[in-house]
Amino acid sequence: MSDIARLWPHPDTAPLDDEALTELYAHRTEPDLRVNFVTSVDGAVELEGFSEGLSGGSDGPDKRVFGLLRMLCDALVVGAGTLRHEGYRALRLDQRRRAWRMARGLSEYPTLVVVSGALELNPAQAAFADAPVRPIVVTHGRAPADRRALLEPVADVLAVGDDGVDLSTALARLRERGLAHLLSEGGPHLFGALLAEDLVDDVCLTISPLVTGPGAGRIVAGAPTPPKNFTLRHTLIADGALLTRYGLDR
C-alpha cells in the first residue's frame, strides 16, 4: 500500500493512516454530492479507453482513496456509460469497511444508483444481478417501457422528468430515501449535467504523474456551463500523484 502524505495545508511528510484520511475526506455538509475522478497531467479522462491506466494499479493511492470514498457515502451515483464501459461489478466493501459503517449507524453497503435515459442496461451485469443492496436506476417518463420492465426485477426504477432526467428532483428523491451523502464516479457526461444544475458540492481529483498525449476527453463533457469557483480543501501526495479535494462554498 502506498504512503500518502499531506502537502497542503500543514505539510507533513509522515504517512497518513486510515483514520487521518477518513477525517480529511469526511462529508462536511448534509446532504451533499461529491464527484471523484482521476486524470493525467494533461487532462485525459482515460488511457486506452479506461480510467484504470490512470489510477496506477489496485494498490495505488488513487484506488485507496477511491475505496475510502465509497465507504463514506450513502449512495454511489454513476452514469450508464461508465457502468457499461467500465464493467461495474456489485458494489461491495470489505469486512473492515462494512464494520466501520455499521458502527456509525450507516447501512452495511452503499446503494448503487445508475442514471440512464435510454435504459440500455443489462440486468445480468453483476452490478445489478449480484448487488448486496437493490440498486436504483434513475430515468425519465419516456424511457422505453420494455427495457424498464427488464430492469424492474433487479432494481428500483425511478422516472423523474418527462422526457429527460430531472437530476435535481432525482437527488431529492434519493434524499427522501435517506441517501444524504452521494458520491459520483462520473462519468464525464453525468458530471457535466450535474454541474449544469449546480448540484456538485465537492470534487475529489487525482492527478496521476502521466502525460498521455492527445486523444482522450476530459473529466467533464456535454453542453458548456459557466465557470464556478471551488475552494481547495487539501492536496495530498503519493508516488508522484496529487490527490486533491475541492469544495464549493455555498
Ligand X SMILES: NC(=O)c1ccc[n+]([C@@H]2O[C@H](COP(=O)([O-])OP(=O)(O)OC[C@H]3O[C@@H](n4cnc5c(N)ncnc54)[C@H](OP(=O)(O)O)[C@@H]3O)[C@@H](O)[C@H]2O)c1
Using CB under 6 A, list all residues that contact ligand X. 37-38, 45-46, 49-51, 54, 79-82, 85-86, 115-118, 120, 165, 167, 185-190, 193, 221
Q: Which residues pair with 39 in a beta bridge?
A: 207
CA 233 to chain centre: 18
Cβ 108 to ligand X shortest distance, Å: 25
Separation between Cα atoms, residue 19 and residue 24, nearest integer Å: 9
Contact 32/69 with Cβ under 8 angstroms?
no
The nearest distance, CB 39 to ligand X, in angstroms, is 6
User: Residue holding cell 498525449?
Assistant: 213
CB-based contact 239:61 (threshold 8 Å): yes
Please, which residue, 3 or 120, has the CB nearer to ligand X? 120
Which of 101/136 has CB closer to ligand X? 136
Nearest-approach distance from CB 60 to ligand X, in angstroms: 13
**Closer residue to ligand X in complex, CB, 101/140:** 140
Closest distance between ligand X and the C-beta of residue 128, in Å?
14
Task: Work out how close the CB of 141 gets to ligand X at its nearest, in angstroms, rounded to a whole number.
Answer: 12
Residue 186: CB minimum distance to ligand X, A: 3
Q: In the chain, how long is the greatest CA-to-CA distance?
A: 56
Helices (H), 141-215: 145-151, 167-176, 188-196
Measured CA to CA, the distance from residue 199 to residue 190 in angstroms comes to: 11
E strands in 125-185: 136-139, 156-159, 181-184
Residue 83: what are its φ and ψ, rounded to 5°?
-60, -45
Taking the least distance from each CB to ligand X, the nearer of 151 and 179 is 151
Q: Which is nearer to ligand X, 98 or 175 (CB)?
A: 175
Q: How far is the CB of 198 from ligand X (least distance, A)?
A: 14
DSSP class of residue 33? E
- Shorter beta-carbon distance to ligand X: residue 55 or 101: 55
Bridge partners of residue 75, in order along the sequence: 111, 182
Measured from the CB atom, the residue of 14 and 223 that comes closer to ligand X is 223
Beta-carbon count within 10 A of 28 CB:
11
